[in-house]
């Protein structure tokens, strides 16, 4: 197949949407498909198959986007048209301006559209300080349905949670496929030499962007309330606009949190050094980072948030804590510190759970979704 993937956001692998896009592009190429990519990542100009459009200029908001480590793409009709010419399917990652241009042109050329649903309403409205506005979040879903997703032959939802949320809000059934973004086989238990700086420490890991919806502050406060606060070392893997605030908040701990952006290889090593993984995010479509930790043999403790799919990764009530409740999280942390043998038992129970999210299997299903869209269109 000739597949065109349209990316409003693509650059450094510092956010879930970019990582999902890069994985999809790589996987479809490995399966023998001709993949073209439309994006504004100027660093990829020399790469074969990449069609580079300008970066969207948002004036005073450019600095804010840079702080978040992302850049949005500005549509260019000529470039987009060239990228989708002769495509069997056009797949877009997010419903923003570049993708909307691709939708319009693909419809004119009679090319079927597929899409990923990688943008939870709150991921967008949190930047407007409106993440808790039910009206605005509903409006977001109705808007993206009207301008983008209603045109799709197939929609990829990373979790049943986000499919249910979207379809319930717009009050429509959609041509959806629930497929995990997948856990790379690189994430697995390995023997690593623990860094001497962690000697005598209980190492708690969290991987996620340093942004409001990830709710890092609850984890910092919980460690401060723990009976074992003197022993605990927090490690946050990620970058984002709240770095300075979180660093300041963490200074009250006996062992201030560490902040790092890890390569995949180093993250695997770090996860295999850790004792516990905590995912306090209030808003989450899937949280592959949590699955990666589980795949490396860590037991997770997850916020039981009604706006997070990650809570469904809990196979035991001891894997959950009350959303945004630092005191309850502290109790969970203390429990797992005091019951290391029970933690080992739960690690074994999680092995089968991880297999459901194996990367190659998930990419096979993504390929089949696109093939279905192309075949249905050809026979339509």
pLDDT in tens, 161-185: 999 999 999 999 999 999 999 998 9
Please check whether residue 178 is in contact with residue 197, taking contact to mean a CB–CB distance below 8 angstroms. Answer: no
pLDDT surpasses 80 at 373: yes
pLDDT surpasses 60 at 64: no
pLDDT surpasses 70 at 380: no
Angstrom distance (rounded) from CA 16 to CA 214: 13
* CB-neighbour burial class of residue 274 (10 A; exposed 0-12, middle 13-18, buried 19+): buried
Q: For 28-33, which contacts have Cβ atoms below 8 Å and span 24 or more sequence positions?
A: 28/3, 28/363, 28/366, 28/367, 28/370, 31/363, 31/367, 33/1, 33/2, 33/3, 33/367
Each residue's pLDDT tens digit, 88-136? 999 999 999 999 999 999 999 999 999 999 989 998 888 778 888 999 9
Report the sign of the C-alpha dihedral through residues 229, 233, 234, 239, in that order.
positive
CATH 3.40.50.2000 fits 196-355, yes or no: yes
Output the pTM of the full model.
0.90
**CATH number belonging to domain 2-182+358-375:** 3.40.50.2000
Task: Establish whether domains 2-182+358-375 and 196-355 are of one fold.
Answer: yes
**Would you state the pLDDT for residue 59?**
65
Place of tokens 């959950």: 320
212 band by pLDDT with thresholds 50, 70 and 90 = confident
Residue 157 phi, psi (nearest 5): -110, 125
Residue ranges covered by each domain of the chain: 2-182+358-375, 196-355
- Average pLDDT for the chain: 92
Residue 147 CA, distance from chain mean position: 23
Average pLDDT over residues 306-325: 95
């Amino acid at each position: 197949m000739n597949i065109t993937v349209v990316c409003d956001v693509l650059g450094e692998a510092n956010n879930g949407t970019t990582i999902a896009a890069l994985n999809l592009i790589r996987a479809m190429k490995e399966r023998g498909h001709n993949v073209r990519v439309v994006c504004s990542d100027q660093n990829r100009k020399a790469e074969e198959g990449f069609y580079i459009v300008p970066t969207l200029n948002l004036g005073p908001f450019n600095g804010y986007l840079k702080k978040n480590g992302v850049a949005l793409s500005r549509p260019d009709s000529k470039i987009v048209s060239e990228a989708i010419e002769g495509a069997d399917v056009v797949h877009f990652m997010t419903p923003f301006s570049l993708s909307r241009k691709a939708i319009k042109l693909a419809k004119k050329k009679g090319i079927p559209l597929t899409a990923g649903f990688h943008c939870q309403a709150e991921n967008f409205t949190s930047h407007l300080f409106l993440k808790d506005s039910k009206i605005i979040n509903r409006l977001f879903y109705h808007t993206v349905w009207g301008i983008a997703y209603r045109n799709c032959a197939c929609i990829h939802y990373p979790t049943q949670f986000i499919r249910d949320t979207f379809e319930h809000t717009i009050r429509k059934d959609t041509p959806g496929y629930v497929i995990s973004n997948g856990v790379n086989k690189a994430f697995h238990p390995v023997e690593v030499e623990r860094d001497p700086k962690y000697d005598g420490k209980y190492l708690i890991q969290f991987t996620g962007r340093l942004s409001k919806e990830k709710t890092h502050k609850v984890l910092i406060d919980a460690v401060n309330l723990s009976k074992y606060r003197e022993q605990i070392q927090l490690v946050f893997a990620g970058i984002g606009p709240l770095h300075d605030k979180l660093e300041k908040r963490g200074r009250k701990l006996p062992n201030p949190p560490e902040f790092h952006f890890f390569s995949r290889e180093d993250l695997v090593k770090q996860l295999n050094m850790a004792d516990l993984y905590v995912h306090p995010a209030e808003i989450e479509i899937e949280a592959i980072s949590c699955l990666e930790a589980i795949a490396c043999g860590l037991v997770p403790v997850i916020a039981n948030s009604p706006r997070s799919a990650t809570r469904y990764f809990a196979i035991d009530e001891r894997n959950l804590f009350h959303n945004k409740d630092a005191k309850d999280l502290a109790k969970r942390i203390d429990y797992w510190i005091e019951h290391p043998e029970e933690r080992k038992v739960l690690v074994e129970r999680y092995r089968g759970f991880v297999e459901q999210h194996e990367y190659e299997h998930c990419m096979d299903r993504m390929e089949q979704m696109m093939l279905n869209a192309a075949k249905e269109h050809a026979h339509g």
